[in-house]
Amino acid sequence: RSYIYNRNAVSPDLLKHEMYHFHITEIFAREIRKILAAKSEQADFKKKYDSILVEEKEMQKNYDYDSYHGYLLSKQAA
């Protein structure tokens, strides 16, 4: 069951939608791990980290908008 406004709703499609949010987060977590592994200077790391977070938030927002929060399954699959 996914986090939704109606706690009694159970939907495999909704769960898939939420899993894609998780996948998007993982993509950006990998980017953060790369800059950590590069052992950048703290100021440089902070700048890159902040940029990655902004990009991740934008992608999450666009994903919800484009898929109409999971209701447009064809858009979600794309």
Could you read off the pLDDT of 28-59 as tens digits, one per residue? 999 999 998 988 788 888 999 999 999 999 99
What is the greatest pairwise CA distance in the chain? 48
Please identify which residue in the block is written with the tokens 């990998």.
30
Report which of residues 20 and 12 the model is more confident about: 20
Q: What is the pLDDT of residue 21?
A: 92
Per the structure block, which two tokens stand in for 33?
């791990």
- Residue 69 phi, psi (nearest 5): 55, 35
- Provide the angle, in degrees to the nearest 10, between the axes of the packed helices 12-37 and 42-66: 160
- Round to whole Å and give the CA distance between 1 and 24: 19
